[in-house]
Amino acid sequence: MYAVIEDGSMQYKVAEGETLDIDFRKAEPGERIEFHKVLLLSADDTATVGTPTIPDVRVVAEVVDQTKGPKIAVMRFRRRKRERRKVGHRQRYTRVKIKEIVVPGKAAAAPASESATAEIQEEGSTNGS
């Protein structure tokens, strides 16, 4: 299952377990971020396209780190004026890991507990006798 989300003015294709860099946010590592602008959802060979977004669908992510992009050198130059200026820039990013894509009406696949498994086995043994 994957989704296309919008954050800021950029769109990202995300799936559970992926890591991506988004624009900087003031968030500590370990905090959860939810993206509510889901533009497309693809699951089980079917795609749902939002108009413009899909209601009640959200993507939950966890902040991993605050990083910086590569350094960019910008030269400002005015001809015939003997004016030159070199400016550097490093963009700040927030690295997030996609935890889950939440779709209402679909239960999350959770492992069965031991007590529920024992109850099913007991019911099966009494019905077969």
Question: How many domains does the structure of the chain reveal?
Answer: 1
For residue 117, what are the domain limits? 2-128
Name the amino acid, one letter, at 119.
E
Exposure class string for 82-116: b at 16+ Cβ within 10 A, else e? eeeeeeeeeeebbebebeebebeeeeeeeeeeeee
Q: Give 3-state DSSP helix, strand, coil % of the chain, rounded to 5.
A: 10, 50, 35
Both tokens of 44, joined, read 């089980």
Q: Which helix (H) or strand (E) holds 6?
A: strand 2-7
pLDDT one digit per residue (tens) for the chain, 129 residues: 999 999 989 999 999 999 999 999 999 999 999 999 999 999 888 888 989 999 999 999 999 999 999 999 999 999 999 999 999 999 999 999 999 999 988 765 544 444 444 444 444 444 544
